[in-house]
Each structure stands twice: as C-alpha cells, then as structure tokens.
Amino acid sequence: MQAFAYTNGQLCAEEVALAEVASRFGTPCYVYSRTAIEQQWQEFNSALGQGDHLICYAVKANSNIAILNLLARLGSGFDIVSVGELERVLRAGGDAGKTVFSGVGKRVDEMRRALEAGIKCFNAESVAELERLNSMARGINRIAPVSIRVNPDIDVDTHPYIATGLKENKFGIPYADALPVYELAASLDSIKIIGIGCHIGSQITVMDPFINALERLLSLTAEIENKGITLQHIDVGGGLGICYQDETPPTAKDYVKELMRIFSGKSYHLILEPGRSIVGNAGVLLTRVEYLKQTSHKNFAVVDAAMNDQLRPALYGAWHNILPLTERTAGQGRVYDIVGPVCETSDFLGKDRKLLLHQGDVLAICSAGAYGFCMSSTYNSRTRACEVMVDGRTMHEIRRRETLEELMTGESLLPA
Ligand code: LLP
C-alpha cells in the first residue's frame, strides 16, 4: 500500500486529504498513516513465520506513545537506549519482558529501573558496563540478563554518521575481544548471559553487510558455546534502509528471507531491531510556504518548518522528496531551495527542487516518519510541531503542538 498518494489532485494520507490535516491542526505538523506502520511491522512478522523470533522495534526512530502502543498491540517488543524510552514503552502498554536495552552509556539508575521493570536483556557494549551492571544487580539481589553486542567490523555504504559496525566506531565489543569478554561475563555472579547481537548501521540498502555480519556472529557463537557458555538468542540489530529517492532496498520480506537462509537449522531465538523500515515511509512533515524570495542567484521558498523540526538534511545532507499538497498543472515551475526560518545556512529541507509554488501553499516533506519529530529541538525558541495519526478517514492528534508556556517551563529568573 502507498500510504501517501494523490487522489483527484490532492495528496492524501489513507482517506484523508493532507490539506485538511493542515487546516485543522496547522503547520508544521507530522502526519503518520496507521495502516502503513502496521503493515510494515506485519510484513516483518509474517516473513519470520512460525520461527522463534521477536521484533524489537527501535524506539529511537519514532517514540510517540501512540505509535508504540499500536506496535505493542501487535505483540511487538522494543529496543530502547534510555530510561526515557523505557518509560515511554511502559506507558504505551509495551511489555518490559520483550524489551532489550542497547546503548554504550547506560547509567546506574537506568540499569536499575530496567532490571526492576523486568526487561528481556541488556545489550552490553563494554567490560566496564558489564562490571557496573553486575555490581548494581548484586546490590539489589537480582540477576541481570545480558546479551553482548559485538562489533563485527563490517563496512557499510551509508552516511559515516550512521555506520556503527566498523572497528573505529564506539559501538560494541571488538570482534577479536568478544570471546574473552564472554568468558569474563560468565564469571560474574549477578549476570546471566543469554545472547549475542550486533547492529552495523542504518539506512543500509543492500543485503551483503547483513549477511556477513550474521555469518560472523554465527561463527562466534560456535566458539562461545565451545567454552561451555550457552546462548539463547541472536540479535541482528536494525538498519534496513528505505527508499527516499531512488534507492532500492530489499523489502522486509526479502530481508528476512535472506537472513533465514543463513539462520535456518539454528535453534536460536532470533531478535530483530528495525526502526526506520517500520515507520520511515509512514510519515510526512507538512509545512507552509511563508515567502517566495528571489535573488539573482537563487529562488528560495521560505517555509515554516526548519532544521529544528527536521534535522536530517542539515545533519546528514539527507534528501527527502518534497511534494505539493495540491497538484498544479497550469504554469511553469521554478527551481527552489526550500529553507526554514532558523538562522543557520544549514537550515534547509531540500535544495534545487523544481516546484510550482505560491505563497501559502503547503508542502509535504516525505519519508519523515523515522528520525523526524524525535530528533526535533526548540532551537531559536521554536515550539515543537504537533503529530497526527490518520486511520482510514479519521485524524487523531497524538501530540499537540508545544506552547510557548511549555517551552519556558522549568526556567526561572535569578533573585533580584
Ligand atoms: N538497534 C540499534 C542498537 C541502533 O543503534 C539502531 C539505530 C537501530 C537498532 C535501528 O536502526 P534502523 O532500523 O532505524 O536503521 N538519526 C539517523 C539514524 C540513526 C540510527 C541509530 N541507530 C538518521 O536519521 O538517519
């Protein structure tokens, strides 16, 4: 299904014209399609079939509790990287027992809350973390379930800021050190080793690196088991890319099928941590053209969304398709840079886009469901956008626009 498509010249989300969303909720506004999110999750799930598996949706991709709740209702697990994400999962009705805790910098208080909540496991990334976890768990008389994140040293063709599986990256235990680290972990009294995992990067659009990483993990599991350490699961992480422009990533179905070719016959429980591939193409950001500005060099469309609302173009030079909500046929387009009001030259949402624009038009920044709202900030004292979920013909406001009062909450003047 295409979540966002033109019907009678109007760009729609499911059965709702996005122009209607913009006029009811204002702009900038993130809009998601419930069907698209659920279908993507189901595609992973049905491809995994009857095999012993758990999809742990990577909460960081989009952490709105309405989205987490939809996934929890489908039976999803979650991959979290902070106590904040854990509290969101719990508030959304997610199951702690299906939640894995990743990240290189877990604080003691975060570990304690997660252990007490009964998470499935900690994805440990260093010896120091294992030692800290062990002593925290001993202190509260509990045993912490642990999976070790191994860094398989695999090069992936993605933006360097989102490649995580190279030996120079901060993530995971270096492949060559993994075996002794497992032996050390096995000797700690308040830790129980249950798995092994990796995550090699994000927006990966070919299968090879995933296959290589899984093969490397599997050969390591054999060595670990030879040392008398039993593993229950293998976690292949997330990272499957989506189409922003003309990329042709494997579908969720093909991705799973390829992984299963390597994995079949193994008796491990398989964990996946997809984020972007579930929500990325299920969301758009609506923004209104405030001004059209022509200089001798450039045409600018100054819109009401900015890098604080959508950071990906500024941070990674990411390309997102930009579509008008109403298709115009009469008249010639112009080539515009679509820029926001923030005082930074990197504040652009798209460059050199041919569009036929009028002041006041609303545009959709496409493929904005992942790493969109959740990476937004209030830079330039801009209130954060609202978020709307479309479900068939219905619109639900799943986060209202931040107010100026909320923007300054918690700040105070010094005494006179
Ligand atoms: N698991 C772990 C341990 C991760 O670090 C990540 C993402 C995922 C799973 C989910 O990966 P995905 O399936 O979404 O690729 N802000 C960047 C992406 C950062 C990804 C960080 N880690 C962007 O906008 O492209």
Query: Is 414 within the bounds of a domain?
Result: no
Please check the confidence at residue 131 and state whether its pLDDT lies above 90.
Answer: yes
Residue 315 belongs to a domain with what CATH number?
Answer: 2.40.37.10
Ligand 1 proximity of 237 Cβ (cutoff 6 Å): yes
| Cβ partners under 8 Å of residue 250, min gap 6 | 205, 206, 207, 240, 258
Q: Which of 276, 307, 328 is the last residue of a domain?
A: 276
Residue indicated by tokens 């709307």: 388
Has 343 been annotated as catalytic? yes
Mean pLDDT value across residues 117-138: 97
Mean pLDDT value across residues 129-138: 98
201-212 pLDDT, tens digit each: 999 999 999 999
Residue 242 belongs to a domain with what CATH number?
Answer: 3.20.20.10
Same domain, 234 and 148: yes
Q: Which of 252, 276, 300 is the last residue of a domain?
A: 276
Ligand 1 mutation target, pool 202, 210, 310, most atoms within 8 A of CB: 202
Mean pLDDT value across residues 324-338: 92
Same domain, 195 and 333: no
What pLDDT, on the 0 to 100 scale, is given for residue 50?
A: 87
Same domain, 156 and 79: yes
pLDDT band for position 170 (50/70/90)?
Answer: confident
Mean pLDDT value across residues 238-247: 98
Query: Is 413 within the bounds of a domain?
Result: no
Same domain, 186 and 94: yes
| Cβ partners under 8 Å of residue 316, min gap 6 | 159, 161, 162
- Tokens of residue 384, six digits: 């954060």
Mean pLDDT value across residues 387-398: 98
Mean pLDDT value across residues 266-277: 96
pLDDT band for position 329 (50/70/90)?
Answer: confident
- Tokens of residue 231, six digits: 């593993």
Q: Cα(25)–Cα(384) distance, rounded to whole angstroms?
A: 13
47-106 pLDDT, tens digit each: 999 889 999 999 999 999 999 999 999 999 999 999 999 999 999 999 999 999 999 999
What pLDDT, on the 0 to 100 scale, is given for residue 1?
A: 58
What pLDDT, on the 0 to 100 scale, is given for residue 186?
A: 97
Residue in 170, 233, 202, 244 with CA at minimum distance from that of residue 60? 202
Q: Are 203 and 276 in contact (CB under 8 A)?
A: yes
Q: Name the burial class of residue 132, with classes exposed (0-12), middle (13-18) and buried (19+) by CB atoms within 10 angstroms of its CB.
A: middle
Please check the confidence at residue 384 and state whether its pLDDT lies above 70.
Answer: yes
Same domain, 20 and 74: no
Ligand 1 proximity of 274 Cβ (cutoff 6 Å): yes
Cα 250–5–10 angle (5° rounding)? 165
CA dihedral 255, 257, 262, 264 (to 10 degrees): 140
Please check the confidence at residue 317 and state whether its pLDDT lies above 70.
Answer: yes
Same domain, 339 and 236: no
Note down the domain range covering 321: 4-32+280-407
Ligand 1 proximity of 277 Cβ (cutoff 6 Å): yes
Query: Is 288 within the bounds of a domain?
Result: yes
Q: How many domains does the chain have?
A: 2
Q: Cα(378)–Cα(401) distance, rounded to whole angstroms?
A: 12
Query: Is 412 within the bounds of a domain?
Result: no
